[in-house]
Amino acid sequence: MYKIIYKQVIAQDIKKIDITAPSIAARALPGQFVMVTPVLGEHNVPMTIVDHDEKRSIITLLVHEVGSATRKLGDLSIGDNVYQVVGPLGRSAQMDKYGLVICVATGIGAAQILPICRGLKKKGNKVIGIIGAKSKKVLMLESQMRVVCDEVFITTNDGSYERRGLATGLLKELLNKYTVHRVYAIGSVEMMQTAAQMTKEKNIPIRVTLNPYMVNGLGMCGSCRVMINGQPQLACVDGPEFDGHQVDYQDLSQRMNTMERHSWENQTHPISQKRPGFAGLMKSLWGTTKK
């Protein structure tokens, strides 16, 4: 039923897939997500709907291969069926005509910011996009962002492409240069926290999209609870977008910690995690030819 009809590798460990899901494609709003179970017996993973096409009834997802479930999803090829896709879940991003809007994203956050940029542009805002990446290798969605935004800035941590430095450094420059009406930030907790501090000094509203560990995304378990203004709220039902000034980042980083420790455990475990891949194939081929 949920058939993969297109798949493309767009950066290191990042794949873009199009899945047929008519009822989701007809209703998806910017900022919403789906819960995907790649194969029977795997976890379900929350994934932002990067794009949706009602006429072709497809949704586009970006798969960042970090754990076993995302790896299995990345391993599926065109024509295969995904076991389960539930959605669209969460609330839509807050969107209106504000004026000048800056959208900052780091890492996989770029996939989440793209639909928001598109929605903001449609409402008639001037949109400046900032994408932060570790290096050029893992930079993604650059061309799509250039189409959607009025202006796009790119920073890489190692300086391998465009500007060297952090996305928040660039944000600070822009905030000093222009009169900004609103900021959207998605990425690591530290980045969002810094962005929230910067905007607080200048009294600019900021919206952040939080990615805590989610179990089913239906508001059933309270696993994705985050502290907003001193009150626990659920990222899957009340969010995932919140007012950046009200988020308790310390609590959030503590809650995200869980996931990181689990990922570590997964990575160090020897079975089935390591794939030979192209490099392994070449190595073995070299071995045979040399002999």
Cα 268 to Cα 274: distance, rounded to the nearest angstrom: 10
Nearer to other proteins, 14 or 28 (CB): 28
Nearer to other proteins, 52 or 104 (CB): 52
Q: Around Cβ 225, how many Cβ atoms within 10 Å?
A: 17
Nearer to other proteins, 41 or 277 (CB): 41
Phi (first) and psi of residue 215, to 5 degrees: -100, -55
**Smallest distance, other proteins to C-beta of residue 261, A:** 7
**Smallest distance, other proteins to C-beta of residue 262, A:** 5
Nearer to other proteins, 78 or 220 (CB): 220
**Smallest distance, other proteins to C-beta of residue 231, A:** 8
Nearer to other proteins, 197 or 223 (CB): 223
Q: List interacting residues with other proteins (CB under 8 A).
A: 23-24, 27, 37, 41-44, 83-89, 91, 215-216, 218-223, 225, 227, 232, 234, 237-238, 251, 253-255, 257-258, 261-262, 265-266, 269
- Name, in order, each residue with C-beta under 8 angstroms of 123's C-beta and a sequence gap of 6 or more: 95, 96, 97
Written as six digits, the tokens of 25 are 């494609």
Question: Which burial class, exposed, middle or buried, applies to 166 when counting CB atoms under 10 A from its CB (0-12, 13-18, 19+)?
Answer: middle
Closest CA to 102 of 140, 122, 130: 130
Nearer to other proteins, 72 or 131 (CB): 72
29 membership: H or E segment, kind and range:
none
Residue type, 87: G
- Write b or e for each residue in 55-68: b if 16 or more Cβ atoms lie within 10 A of its Cβ, otherwise e: eeebbbbbbbbebe
**Smallest distance, other proteins to C-beta of residue 5, A:** 19
**Smallest distance, other proteins to C-beta of residue 68, A:** 9
Nearer to other proteins, 143 or 273 (CB): 273
**Smallest distance, other proteins to C-beta of residue 154, A:** 33
- Name, in order, each residue with C-beta under 8 angstroms of 223's C-beta and a sequence gap of 6 or more: 212, 213, 214, 215
**Smallest distance, other proteins to C-beta of residue 41, A:** 5
3-state secondary structure of 19: strand
Beta strands in 65-133 (DSSP E): 81-82, 84-89, 100-106, 126-133
